[in-house]
Amino acid sequence: MSTPATISASEIFELLREDLAAIEREFGRDTVAGVEAITDIGEYLRNGGGKRIRPALLLLSSKLFNYEGRGAIRLGAVVEMIHTATLVHDDIIDQAQIRRGRPSANTQWGNSKCVLAGDWLYMQAFKIAIQERNFRILDTLIDLTQQMVEGELLQMEKLGKAISLDEHFDLIHRKTACLFSVCMRLGAILGGATAEQEENLAQYGRDLGMAFQLVDDVLDLTASEDVLGKPVASDLREGKVTMAVIHALDRCTALERKLIETVLAQRTFDDVAHAQILEILERYGSLEAATSQATQYAALARNAICSFPDGEIKRALLWAPDFVVAREK
């Protein structure tokens, strides 16, 4: 495999700028409902920002096969709507107060309206996807939503508990990596990829999503609230165990384990300071271990697309894993 020339973030943005703008317009139109509350909540969520990395992956995947139809715009909006619906439901389940530096939707409209708005977004996403008249696309999206719901239920069952690394990776796959994988698969389906090409792109998405979530988990522990747009160490406050914590629990003393378990049980840092937990994680190289694992997944993602011909789309896909691992928010 020859090494493609590097590509910059600005070049990638320019490559996708018009399509992402079209997806944003589509998203805006698709979230207008006959009920004012749904429209207001949808607009609030859409204006909340976000990297739009998922629709960008779908676009890049379809462009690998020179796809030029409207389906990529339509499905780009679909995956962003599904992602947004999961965020609404997650914030309700986690009783989150802040999302991306703003009050979460549930604090503005209440849990009841936001549950229904999230349900509406799911149904609207499928209504739009049906326009492709492609059962494989529908099957893929149905499997995705089932995986994500199962992941949320499994996580709820494990809150406050010390889970294994395999269990954690399964949760990451269901809650995050599965959507990344589906974005790549949908682009491949639109582009008429072979079965092998589709599976390679789906694997790329899965590995990229795993890397993304591992980095997200590390940032949750180490970044500032201003950067995160939400309280630091939200996962621990919600009783969620992530890789760095699992790594430390497998190596720490009984006293150190007790400190971590206290935070998980109380879901506050009232009796144990956040700094104390960070000291334990740093003592055992746990943050570095999680980052190293993310780097390994990033390498697997790049390897999954090595058979595709060189070009600007492939260069963009090869750049994405580095961006995911190096990001600071």
Residue 221 burial class via C-beta count within 10 angstroms: exposed 0-12, middle 13-18, buried 19 and up: buried
- The length of the chain in residues reads 329
Convert the pLDDT of each residue in 35-48 to its tens digit.
999 999 999 988 88
Three-class secondary structure of residue 227 per DSSP: helix
Of the listed ranges 10-19, 80-89, 144-153, 258-267, the one predicted with least confidence: 10-19
Instruction: With respect to residue 159, please indicate whether it lies within any of the assigned structural domains.
Output: yes
Q: What is the pLDDT of residue 5?
A: 56
Instruction: With respect to residue 2, please indicate whether it lies within any of the assigned structural domains.
Output: no
Q: What is the pLDDT of residue 226?
A: 78
Three-class secondary structure of residue 112 per DSSP: helix
Q: What is the dihedral of CA 128, 194, 298, 250, to 10 degrees?
A: 90
Instruction: With respect to residue 3, please indicate whether it lies within any of the assigned structural domains.
Output: no
Instruction: With respect to residue 28, please indicate whether it lies within any of the assigned structural domains.
Output: yes
CATH number of the domain within which 156 lies: 1.10.600.10
Q: 4 pLDDT band (50/70/90 cuts)? A: very low
Convert the pLDDT of each residue in 289-305 to its tens digit.
999 999 999 999 999 99
Residue 165 domain boundaries: 9-326
Distance CA 21, CA 325 (A): 26
> Looking at this protein, which amino acid is placed at residue 258?
K
Transcribe 127-163 into DSSP letters: HHHGGG--HHHHHHHHHHHHHHHHHHHHHHHHTTS--
Instruction: With respect to residue 1, please indicate whether it lies within any of the assigned structural domains.
Output: no
What is the token pair recorded at 34? 């006959």
Instruction: With respect to residue 20, please indicate whether it lies within any of the assigned structural domains.
Output: yes
Task: For residue 234, give the nearest of 273, 270, 267 by alpha carbon.
Answer: 267
Q: What is the CA radius of gyration of the chain?
A: 20
Three-class secondary structure of residue 102 per DSSP: strand
Convert the pLDDT of each residue in 186-242 to its tens digit.
999 999 999 999 999 999 999 999 999 999 999 999 988 878 777 889 999 999 999
> Which one-letter DSSP state was computed for residue 309?
P
What is the token pair recorded at 318? 């090869």
Helix axis angle, 71-94 to 53-63, nearest 10°: 150
Run of H or E including 103: strand 102-103
Transcribe 39-97 into DSSP letters: HHHHHHHHTT----HHHHHHHHHHHTTT--STHHHHHHHHHHHHHHHHHHHHHHHHT--
**What mean pLDDT, rounded, does the chain reach?**
94
pTM of the model: 0.94
Three-class secondary structure of residue 185 per DSSP: helix
Distance CA 38, CA 32 (A): 7
> Which one-letter DSSP state was computed for residue 98?
E
Q: What is the pLDDT of residue 99?
A: 87
Neighbours of 203 (CB within 10 A): 18
Task: For residue 102, give the nearest of 169, 32, 49 by alpha carbon.
Answer: 49
Q: What is the pLDDT of residue 3?
A: 43
Three-class secondary structure of residue 99 per DSSP: strand
Q: Is 56:77 a contact under the CB 8 Å cutoff?
A: no
Tell me the HSE value of 187 on the side-chain side, using a 13 A CA sphere. 30
b/e code 84-119 from CB counts within 10 Å (16+ = b): bbbbbbbbbbbebebbeeeebbbbebeeebbebbbe
- Determine what percent of the chain is predicted with pLDDT higher than 70: 98
Q: How many domains does the chain have?
A: 1
What is the token pair recorded at 193? 């990829």
Question: Mean pLDDT across the stretch 148-165?
Answer: 95
Task: Give 103's strand partners.
Answer: 98
> Looking at this protein, which amino acid is placed at residue 4?
P
